[in-house]
Structures are given as structure tokens and as C-alpha cells.
Amino acid sequence: MAAALTSILAAALGAALPSQAVAAEVTVAVASNFAAPMQAIAQDFERASGHKVVMAFGATGQLYAQIRNGAPFAILLSADDETPAKLEGERLAVAGSRFTYATGRLVLWSKRPGFVDAQGEVLHSGQFARIAVANPKLAPYGAAALETLTNMGLRERTAPKLVEGSNITQAFQFVASGNAQLGFVALSQVLENGQLREGSAWVVPSSLHSPLLQDAVLLLPGKNQPAAAALLQYLQSDKAKAVIRAFGYEP
């Protein structure tokens, strides 16, 4: 798989060698949970390559719908591994270009220090009015949150208190603004330099939900774009992987 992907990207770069010296623009659809690390990676990539990265953020389901409706994205950085595979099957992505760029972590977070304990027992206490999640039909992190509550035997008890954001960014905003006392968000949203930025949090054990494998894929509009191929290669570099780890993901 890795060898095939390398061949695909190398071919894309090789075909464009005569114009490689000219800076180009690449448009990337990015799952909301990966917004902060991708912004950092894009800055490094732009400095190293001279190319410009234009990003659109949203829930994976929303981005998928936009791609199906003709949005001219060159790359999708999904919050799951199913959507890129589906796009390959629908011939809207380049076959064999898909790879896992990060494995995400779900976290229960509160803006209040000390409110969330290290075992997530606050969920059993019921001492909260609202708990935010991303729309589980559109956002894999939202689906993982509901799966966690189900496996903890808390799905029915917490159902009246759930508030849904359209994506993981909105779920985070509900908690950050105080409109929800708790929320299931991406670990990357609450970390800064590897440390919890504020409040209190419980990193949900991976055993409580399906793995959050996040795949990248080269979309058809990016097939002959050297900047798109270069960015996908850069995502697999040691420098990009260091950024990914710093935000709480595994490359």
C-alpha cells in the first residue's frame, strides 16, 4: 500500500516537473478536528515548498456532500477512513492514493478546572445541565462520543442533556462559551504544546469507541496538481508527524 501510494505521488510530481519551480495553490478540505495542526503544517509546507494552501474546514459528512456536488477540492483530510474509501469507490478520488495520516483521540472536556476527573466519573454524577457532542451523522467524533456513552451504559440517562454541534468545532464552542458544562471534543482542540490549555479533561480510553482513523485522499481535481502531490508527501514527513503528535494524535 505504502509503495503504491509513493508511486502514485511520485508520478504526479514527475509529470509536473517542468512547472515545479512555479508556486502553485492547493485547496484542501479538512475535517474540523484537524484544523489547528493542519494550519501549523500548512505554514511549514508553504515555507518549504513555495506553494500556497487554501483550506476549508467542516464536518466530514458536510465535506463529502460538497465533494459530491462538485466542490473543486484537491485533497480531503477526513476524520474517518470510510469517507475517503467511499470516494475512491465512487471514482471521485484517485485510486490507491488513500492513507491514514493520523489517529485521533476523543476527550471529555470542561472549561472549569477540576470539574472533569481522571476517570470520567463526572458523567455518572449527573451534575451538569448540558453535554455537547458533534452531529454523529456527519462527524466521526460525534459518533465516537455516542458510542462511548453507550458502552458506559449512559446513553439513555444523558440523552436529555445532549446538545449537538454541526461539527466538532461547534461542539467545542458550546463548552468554551459556557453554554454546555461538558463536551466530547478532539484532544487536539484542548492541547497547546502538549499540555491541557485550560479547564479539566478525561482522555477517553480507545476501548470505549471505534478507532478514529483519519485518512487523506487525493481527489480527482488534484490528480495533475504538483502542489497536491507535494502536500500529501509532506504530510508523511517527520516534520509533519512531529506536529501531529504535539496535538495529541498518533501519525
Asked if the structure places residue 251 within a domain, the reply is no
Which portions of the chain are predicted below pLDDT 70? 1-21
* Residue range(s) defining the domain that contains residue 163: 106-203
pLDDT of residue 10: 53
pLDDT of residue 251: 84
Overall number of domains in the chain? 2
pLDDT of residue 18: 41
* One domain for residues 112 and 189: yes
Asked if the structure places residue 85 within a domain, the reply is yes
pLDDT of residue 16: 42
Sheet bearing 131-134, strands edge to edge? 162-165, 131-134, 182-186, 106-110, 200-203
DSSP β-ladder status, 99-104 and 212-218: antiparallel
Q: Which residues, in sequence order, are CB contacts of 220 under 8 Å at separation 6+?
A: 91, 92, 93, 94
pLDDT of residue 14: 47
* One domain for residues 176 and 219: no
* One domain for residues 13 and 36: yes
* CATH code (residue 35): 3.40.190.10
pLDDT of residue 107: 97
* One domain for residues 162 and 199: yes
Asked if the structure places residue 208 within a domain, the reply is no
* One domain for residues 58 and 17: yes
